[in-house]
């Protein structure tokens, strides 16, 4: 049974009041640039002139990929489960930035090829111990995809029950940039060679091989399948961790939660989510433009304005978390600055 999300475009009746408040703060109109745009977006999402951020959390989904068998990544398969355990102990990049910015962290096993019994810090949402190799067959079944969407949504509902109204999402899965590259190509029409990059560190020869493998997989898919069926594309190439992230994003949007979008992988998930429910992007704030080939092009396709450009490509949600203080600053501006009406300052432009 297909999971249905009910995602609404934020009601814009309040928009003139928010704009009036922003324009009448003690500053020249538009002088705080992107902060004003963020404040407007968050106020619209929350339908208030005094928006707030509560209990931010980063949900990190992990899964393994059958396509890794084709040498599309230099990262060994076992690194996925090793990193998952690393996250639970602290000391990884995502742990450091979550601690710095007071984020909660949830680590979810969506489909890792490892038994995490005895590690209660890892949330068990495992569908299967890794996807199938999409060079030869669909990575997952339609039923797997629906299960992933539902389980991603479950985690978000748990965060909401804990008081969160702003969430970021991250991933871990050796080989998962191959999924993102194919989704990007099929959903935007951008040539595949512009969508494929080094991932976790391929050299030029490795990138060429990766492109050849992915082109072969795409050619086979397009010959045998209807490329207008967006859900089928998501399932055929998807990773369990990535499709759970899609479900999480859709649930967040349905619940009017602010979504902080991380790098290449999570932007690809937002792109895929928008193919199912275009309104989801209204709830998304894009944290940064990363260093992975194709990320800028994918952001452009989404008409997205990333907050940072720091050459990051770690994933895990780190770029979104690092960008979070900018969102905080936008709300401090809106809620803390005085208006010309309340001060003795003559309005200036």
Q: Which residues are catalytic?
A: 316
**What sign results for the dihedral spanned by CA atoms 51, 57, 61, 62?**
positive
Cα 286 from Cα 304, distance rounded (Å): 7
- First-to-last alpha carbon distance for the chain, in angstroms, is 56
Instruction: Centre a 10 Å sphere on the Cβ of residue 21 and count the other Cβ atoms it contains.
Output: 18
Residues in the chain: 349
Q: How far does Cα 17 stand from its chain's mean position? A: 30
CB 214 within 8 A of CB 181: yes
- The candidate with the shortest Cα–Cα distance to 127, out of 142, 118, 158, is 142
- Kind of pairing, strands 57-63 and 122-124? unpaired
What Rg value do the Cα atoms of the chain yield, rounded? Answer: 20
CA distances from 83 to 46, 90, 108, 213 (A): 35, 10, 12, 26
CB 88 within 8 A of CB 122: yes
Torsion of CA 215, 226, 301, 138, to 10 degrees: -50
Cα 327 from Cα 316, distance rounded (Å): 19
Cα 146 from Cα 229, distance rounded (Å): 15
Cα 321 from Cα 313, distance rounded (Å): 13
Angle at 91 between CA 88 and CA 93, to 5 degrees: 100
**What sign results for the dihedral spanned by CA atoms 181, 182, 188, 194?**
positive
């Amino acid at each position: 049974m297909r999971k249905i999300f009910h995602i609404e475009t934020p009601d814009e009746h309040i928009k003139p009041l928010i704009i009036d408040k922003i324009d009448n703060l003690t500053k020249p109109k538009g002088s705080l640039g992107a902060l004003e745009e963020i404040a407007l977006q968050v106020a619209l999402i929350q339908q208030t002139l005094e928006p707030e951020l509560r209990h931010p959390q980063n949900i990190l989904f992990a899964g393994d990929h059958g396509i890794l068998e084709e040498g599309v990544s230099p990262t060994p398969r076992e690194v996925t489960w090793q990193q998952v355990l690393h996250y639970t102990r602290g000391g990884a990049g995502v742990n450091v930035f979550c601690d710095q910015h007071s984020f909660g962290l949830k680590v979810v096993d969506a489909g890792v090829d490892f038994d995490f019994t005895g590690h209660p810090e890892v949330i068990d949402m495992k569908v299967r111990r890794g996807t199938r190799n999409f060079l030869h067959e669909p990575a997952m079944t339609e039923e797997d995809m629906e299960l992933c969407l539902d389980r991603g949504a479950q985690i978000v509902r748990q965060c909401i029950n804990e008081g969160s109204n702003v969430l970021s999402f991250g991933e871990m899965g050796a080989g998962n940039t191959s999924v993102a590259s194919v989704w990007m190509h099929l959903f935007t029409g951008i040539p595949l060679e512009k969508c494929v990059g080094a991932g976790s560190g391929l050299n030029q020869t490795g990138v060429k091989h990766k492109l050849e493998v992915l082109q072969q997989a795409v050619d086979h898919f397009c010959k045998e399948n209807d490329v207008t069926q967006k859900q089928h594309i998501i399932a055929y190439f998807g990773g369990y961790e990535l499709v759970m992230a899609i479900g999480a994003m859709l649930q967040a949007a349905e619940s009017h939660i602010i979504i902080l979008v991380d790098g290449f992988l999570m932007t690809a998930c937002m792109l895929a989510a928008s193919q199912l429910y275009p309104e989801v992007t209204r709830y998304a704030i894009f944290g940064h433009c990363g260093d992975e080939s194709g990320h800028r092009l994918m952001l452009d396709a989404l008409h997205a304005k990333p907050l940072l450009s720091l050459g990051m490509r770690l994933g895990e949600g780190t770029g979104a978390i690092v960008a979070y203080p900018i969102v905080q600053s936008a709300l401090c501006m809106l809620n803390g600055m005085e208006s010309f009406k309340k001060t003795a300052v003559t309005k200036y432009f």
